[in-house]
Chain A
Amino acid sequence: MAETAGHSPDRSASQPATRNGMGAFVILVLALAPQIVELLTSCAGLIFNFSGRGPLQVLAAHGSALVLAVPGLAMQSFGGGGKSALSSDTLLALIYTYPLLAVALFTLLVRLRAPQDYFGGIVLMALALFALWASSDLQGMHGFSFGAGTAPRMFGLLLLGLGAAVAVTGLVADGPQLAVYHWRGPLFVSLAIVAFAISIRPLGLVVSGLASFLIAALGTNETRWVETLIVGICLTIGCALLFPYVLGLPMPLLPRFLVQ
């Protein structure tokens, strides 16, 4: 969910009206982010054979949860309230998605005086709501001893309040516009890190270290390739000597298929 927050509101200064529309849209995406992420992981699960729910199941479960959450809640309260009837998907819709949808609507209606604070506060609220949902299955207080879920809920509620307060300051006081986001640096540095994480076990330090060095170097247009390549190779050799031999860390050096 944090990544979704990463490419949050918009790129450059434009008219306030379009900005609000854009902002509301981003909050809408944020509201549905957990569902979308689960759908994508389940699709990936089809390819890599994870166990777990398939994409169709996920789609059906979340779809029905989103549509039926409110009627379900109403039914339950009329029916005298059996305690454990709500599924985790329904809870997600109730605790996380609906409030954020309301916030997205609200965003369309107001004039933002400090978008930077406003959207910052909204994302904190989203994180708090998500944490409240994630800790909703944990045990609460019993007697005066804390359950596992007490403290997360306490801090979750606190963060919700503080996020709301930050957002409100964005409505009442003038403040800075949104800063400009760039895509090149974040993209290639993240790619370099992910590439390292994926390849360190199968391919070993030499290959993955050099690869992530070169991928990271793509993150700026200042890179001179000959120089970068030479430094990258030297650094990789240095690391390959330093970490496993001098410091004695257990770390694969060469690709697995070469060693065997």
Chain B
Amino acid sequence: MADLFHNLILGFGVAVSPINLLLCLIGALVGTLVGVLPGIGTIATVAMLLPITFGLPPVGALIMLAGIYYGAQYGGSTTSILVNIPGEATSVVTTLDGFQMAKQGRAGPALAIAAIGSFIAGCASTVLIAVLGAPLTKLALAFGPAEYFSLMVLGLIFAVVLAKGSVLKAIAMIVLGLLLSMVGSDIETGASRMAFNIPELADGLGFATVAMGVFGFAEIIRNLDAGAEMDRELVQQKITGLMPTKKDLIESAPAIFRGTVLGSILGILPGGGAVIASFAAYTLEKKIARDPSRFGRGAIAGVAAPESANNAAAQTSFIPLLTLGIPPNAVMALMVGAMTIHGIVPGPQVMQKQPDLVWGMIASMWIGNLMLIIINLPLVGIWVRLLRVPYRLMFPSIVVFCAIGIYSINNAPVDVVLAGAFGLVGYWLIKHEFEPAPLLLGMVLGPLMEENLRRALLISRGDWSVFVTRPLSAALMAVAAGLLVLAVLPTLRRKRNEVFVESEG
């Protein structure tokens, strides 16, 4: 135990110096300012700002990068809450309740609780890495393809549960997302699938393109509908209180705690774990809440839980990154790139050979987190004031920012047109009460799911029973089945009641 904390102290010894703190502060500030532009997600922000760290010494560069990362992530959450545009897969869930809170004039508390939840989760998981890092790695090693496939199924079921409306429609949306994720080159054979010889589709549909379309553009188009003006004016008039009230804090404290635990555990699983974390945390909150119907209509726990889970997972996902060398998501992959440039090659040996850098990095993530809360709590007022900009000026600006943002990812005009097309799709989805969040999760998990399914069946020589005979996989499948039943039951019960009422009347 003493040894483990010795490591942390070593890390902080490396990371804490006035210069480093200043670098981290600048990084977090710049990251937030860029990340908050609608249309520019976390990945794009980190990628854009990566080059400014190249000239610094390794520790300074890493710590600045940590600042940028947290700033960008928080900026992404800000756009999720204020304008309903998620910057990356993990903040899709934040839009569900965050944007509703903003609509009710409670954008300030939502933004503040997101920052506070992230910070608490970051602190807890930093300690967790120090205490449990090595033993937990063994858990990740126990996961074979069959277990991963079952985990993905479980993740998709989470998406069903978090949907507001019909379970059937949510499942249909997931499958549509899975189908969309198949577009592009096949990972194993390289065959081009459903790409119709359009070169820009060879790489598949980008997450940013689809997310910007079905969330951002669709939301704008819907807001322009006649009759929606009333709705928007309400948003602008009702802004009350910037900071969360005591009641908010009491309500979100347990949610933050549970989100942190769940996020820390899922973050350890390489590949997909961190993405599932925020969905899982939201589902858990919705399931154990006394009044689940409040979720999706502006429950503060629905912002606190996924934001803290997301952050805890980002922190613990360093464990597979450092021990197995597997980056858990695109942002972490960029971080690996940056680490390699500074001569740190993630892998089994890095913990022994360069402990100062590894622990310095973990410590710097914590400092990044701290900077985030220092910068952003005062800034909440400014972000909320953005909501007061009249919508007739706001929406063309968002359209232009989104268009530039999507164009800048690949310098591809086709991507911009695709995002526009998905905007119309999203408008149609809204009109038919299909929810876009499950679709996006299906799209993100699709490739991982297919890959692991293929591998598992190859290893088991085509035997499908492998998913229920391996104990861990069977347990995950059982949880998934249980959740699905829980999700369906209320609908069935309501139907029965309706029938009852009809026959009575």
Complex Cα spacing A214 to B194, Å: 35
Partner of B421 from the list A3, A124, A135, A144 (CB cut-off 8 Å) is A3
Shortest CB-to-CB span from A259 to chain B, Å, is: 17
List chain B residues, Cβ under 8 A from A119.
432
Residue of A nearest to B213 (CB): A193
Taking CB atoms and an 8 Å cut-off, the chain B residues in 391-420 that contact chain A are: 391-393, 395-397, 399-401, 403-404, 407-408, 411, 413-414, 416-417, 419-420
Residue of B nearest to A176 (CB): B433
The answer to whether B176 and A159 touch across the interface, beta carbons within 8 angstroms, is yes
Taking CB atoms and an 8 Å cut-off, the chain B residues in 166-224 that contact chain A are: 166, 168-169, 171-172, 175-176, 178-179, 182, 186, 188-189, 191, 193-194, 196, 217, 220-224
Complex Cα spacing A184 to B196, Å: 31
Shortest CB-to-CB span from A82 to chain B, Å, is: 23
List chain B residues, Cβ under 8 A from A178.
431
Complex Cα spacing A184 to B393, Å: 17
Known contacts A222-B229, A231-B397, A251-B408; is-contact A193 B51 (Cβ 8 Å): no
The answer to whether A148 and B191 touch across the interface, beta carbons within 8 angstroms, is yes
Complex Cα spacing A209 to B399, Å: 10
The answer to whether B450 and A151 touch across the interface, beta carbons within 8 angstroms, is yes
The answer to whether A120 and B434 touch across the interface, beta carbons within 8 angstroms, is yes
Known contacts A128-B179, A149-B193, A189-B217; is-contact A166 B454 (Cβ 8 Å): no
**In the assembled complex, B309 has its CB within 8 A of some CB on chain A:** no
Q: How many residues of B contact A (CB 8 A)?
A: 70
The answer to whether B393 and A144 touch across the interface, beta carbons within 8 angstroms, is no
Residue of B nearest to A208 (CB): B403
The answer to whether B461 and A138 touch across the interface, beta carbons within 8 angstroms, is no
Known contacts A162-B172, A182-B225; is-contact A227 B217 (Cβ 8 Å): no
The answer to whether A194 and B424 touch across the interface, beta carbons within 8 angstroms, is no
Q: How many residues of A contact B (CB 8 A)?
A: 81
The answer to whether A148 and B193 touch across the interface, beta carbons within 8 angstroms, is yes
The answer to whether A152 and B403 touch across the interface, beta carbons within 8 angstroms, is no
Partner of B194 from the list A6, A134, A232, A249 (CB cut-off 8 Å) is A134
List chain A residues, Cβ under 8 A from B188.
146, 148
**In the assembled complex, B457 has its CB within 8 A of some CB on chain A:** yes
Q: Which of A139, A148, A201, A235 has the most CB of B within 10 A?
A: A148
The answer to whether B423 and A193 touch across the interface, beta carbons within 8 angstroms, is yes
Known contacts A131-B194, A143-B462, A222-B229; is-contact A196 B416 (Cβ 8 Å): yes
**In the assembled complex, B428 has its CB within 8 A of some CB on chain A:** yes
Partner of B186 from the list A127, A134, A148 (CB cut-off 8 Å) is A148
**In the assembled complex, A92 has its CB within 8 A of some CB on chain B:** no
The answer to whether B224 and A162 touch across the interface, beta carbons within 8 angstroms, is no
The answer to whether B179 and A182 touch across the interface, beta carbons within 8 angstroms, is no
The answer to whether B453 and A159 touch across the interface, beta carbons within 8 angstroms, is no
Known contacts A6-B427, A196-B403, A222-B229; is-contact A249 B48 (Cβ 8 Å): yes
Partner of A216 from the list B172, B175, B400, B450 (CB cut-off 8 Å) is B400
Residue of B nearest to A187 (CB): B221
The answer to whether B428 and A155 touch across the interface, beta carbons within 8 angstroms, is no
The answer to whether B171 and A162 touch across the interface, beta carbons within 8 angstroms, is yes
The answer to whether A189 and B399 touch across the interface, beta carbons within 8 angstroms, is yes
**In the assembled complex, B34 has its CB within 8 A of some CB on chain A:** yes
The answer to whether A248 and B51 touch across the interface, beta carbons within 8 angstroms, is yes
The answer to whether B403 and A212 touch across the interface, beta carbons within 8 angstroms, is yes
The answer to whether A189 and B423 touch across the interface, beta carbons within 8 angstroms, is yes
Complex Cα spacing A212 to B407, Å: 14
List chain B residues, Cβ under 8 A from A146.
188, 450, 453-454, 457
The answer to whether A224 and B392 touch across the interface, beta carbons within 8 angstroms, is yes
Shortest CB-to-CB span from B407 to chain A, Å, is: 6
List chain B residues, Cβ under 8 A from A148.
186, 188-189, 191, 193
- The chain B residues found within 8 Å of chain A, CB to CB, are 34, 48-49, 51, 166, 168-169, 171-172, 175-176, 178-179, 182, 186, 188-189, 191, 193-194, 196, 217, 220-226, 229, 390-393, 395-397, 399-401, 403-404, 407-408, 411, 413-414, 416-417, 419-425, 427-428, 430-434, 450, 453-454, 457-458, 461-462
